[in-house]
Amino acid sequence: MEKKGTMLLHKYELGKLLGQGTFAKVYHARNLKNGQNVAVKIIDKEKVLKIGLTDQIKREISVMRLVKHPNVVQLFEVMASKNKIYFAMEYVKGGELFNKIAKGRLKEDAARKYFQQLIAAVDFCHSRGVYHRDLKPENLLLDEDGNLKVSDFGLSALIESKRQDGKLHTTCGTPAYVAPEVINKRGYDGEKADIWSCGVILFVLLAGYLPFTDKNLMEMYRKICKGEFRCPQWFPLEVRKLLSRILDPDPITRITLEKLMANSWFKKGFKPLPISKIDCNMPSSSTPCSVLDFPGIIELDSHGNKEEASTSSSMTPTTLNAFDLISLSPGFDLSGLFENDKIERSPSRFTSLESASSIVSKLEKVAMTENFKVKKKDGKVEMQGSKEGRKGQLSIDAEIFEVTPSFHVVEVTKKAGDTMEYLKFYNQDLRPSLKDVVWNSEGTDHKLQ
């Protein structure tokens, strides 16, 4: 439906279509305020829901917030309407590295430069607990100065995606670039899997073709799992030795990024980026993948007008990221897809201009009046019934989310117990008791949703 000249929120003017996939299109666009060229990715919500890619979109936003690096495509802001999600991203006009390779293999110095920039970006991502999992020349872009930019974090994983065995288990990626341990489906180290893909890319840069290839996919997988590849005669000896360390089918003995970056061939002419050009704000060690402050998310109301909202244990409220805010709107409510009993399981939400401590204090007062035991942890107030009988089995969570320091969203959910008893408590005790902390924007009763 989008066409050239279309205005988005009076902020961006769409230009030509740059590319499209199953559920998204990417356009060249211009920021009307400062004239900056950007790329706008337009995602169809309905298709996202049908395909089941909600978590992937959420993850992609979270990941792109964490990896602010000169060799990674930057996400500027996220916008949403009833039917679409919009990513405003850095416009990289040089196209894909793949197009350069398609014209023939690269000279050693050029290949090394791109490989150095790739490894610098991947190393930074790993330091933030992010594993790309789909590194290939098609996902590496070049800017107007010929510098490499890693893009497409749709298949990436965050460090908390690891299971109890400390490994990732989702099989994903592009067959020719995927590591053998990913194929084997026994769990894998995201860092080692990315290193393997980088090795395949280095081979392709210097050779102009893939190290592992076969018309039969299973035979190609066999070659990958055995590490069967042969370097062309024009490969320098140092490169051959390095590739044998990177494309080692055993992830335990495969070279680490630290040792790779200390390699003499890799270090030749390598100039680490000055610290001033890298975002060094680290998430806390306890939450390595927390989403950092994010520019205002812009949503369209039913009339197409824009509305802006910004985002920003003792009892610390959870900070909402851009996708969290989108998902709170009725147009992107996913609960009906997964819950058979929406009354029983769907959370109720309300907004408040009170401080988090004031909201918690009111919740505690209600809980004490009704003889509930209270536990506070990580932005959540857990209320457990202590009376005998049905109410004693009730378990209720009230989670507080900070949108801004002076604006909060509270989500109340029944965890356990009788549904009718919960609804009785919720409607007769909890909701009336919270009236004075619920935001009343126009002087009328603002009901809990």
For residue range 70-120, list pLDDT tens digits in order: 999 999 988 888 888 899 999 999 889 999 999 999 999 999 999 999 999
Q: Which residue has the tokens 């989008």?
A: 2
Question: For position 245, what pLDDT does the model report?
Answer: 97
> Taking residues 261-290, what's their average pLDDT?
66
Q: What is the pTM of this model?
A: 0.62
The domains of the chain are located at 7-90, 97-277, 334-433
Question: For position 234, what pLDDT does the model report?
Answer: 94
Question: For position 319, what pLDDT does the model report?
Answer: 57
| pLDDT of 420 over the 90 cut | no
| pLDDT of 263 over the 80 cut | yes
Any idea what the Cα angle at residue 254 is, between residues 98 and 132, rounded to 5°?
45
**For the segment 298-338, what is each residue's pLDDT rounded down to a tens digit?**
343 333 344 433 332 345 666 554 444 544 544 334 333 33
| pLDDT of 274 over the 80 cut | no
Query: What is the CATH code of the structural domain delimited by 97-277?
Result: 1.10.510.10
> Are the beta carbons of 326 and 80 closer than 8 angstroms?
yes
**For the segment 198-249, what is each residue's pLDDT rounded down to a tens digit?**
999 999 999 999 999 998 989 999 999 999 999 999 999 999 999 999 999 9
DSSP string, 256-307: PHHHHHT-HHHHTT--PPPGGGS---PPPTTSTT-----PPEEEE-TTS-EE
Mean pLDDT of the chain: 79
Query: What is the CATH code of the structural domain delimited by 7-90?
Result: 3.30.200.20
Residue 10 Ramachandran class (φ > 0 left, ψ -120 to 50 alpha, else beta): left
> Taking residues 399-409, what's their average pLDDT?
75
Q: Which of 141, 131, 241 is nearest to 193 (CA)?
A: 131
Question: For position 227, what pLDDT does the model report?
Answer: 94
Indicate which residues carry an active-site annotation: 134
**What are the C-alpha distances in Å from 434 to residues 36, 315, 384, 404?**
46, 19, 18, 20
High-pLDDT (> 70) share of the chain, %: 76
The helix (run of H) or strand (run of E) holding residue 180 is helix 180-183
Question: For position 359, what pLDDT does the model report?
Answer: 85
User: Distance from first CA to last CA of the chain, Å, rounded?
Assistant: 33
Given pLDDT bands bounded at 50, 70 and 90, which one contains residue 446? very low
Q: Is 334-433 a domain of CATH 3.40.50.1100? A: no
Question: For position 159, what pLDDT does the model report?
Answer: 65
> Are the beta carbons of 28 and 5 closer than 8 angstroms?
no
How far is it between the farthest Cα atoms of the chain? 81
The helix (run of H) or strand (run of E) holding residue 112 is helix 108-127
High-pLDDT (> 90) share of the chain, %: 38
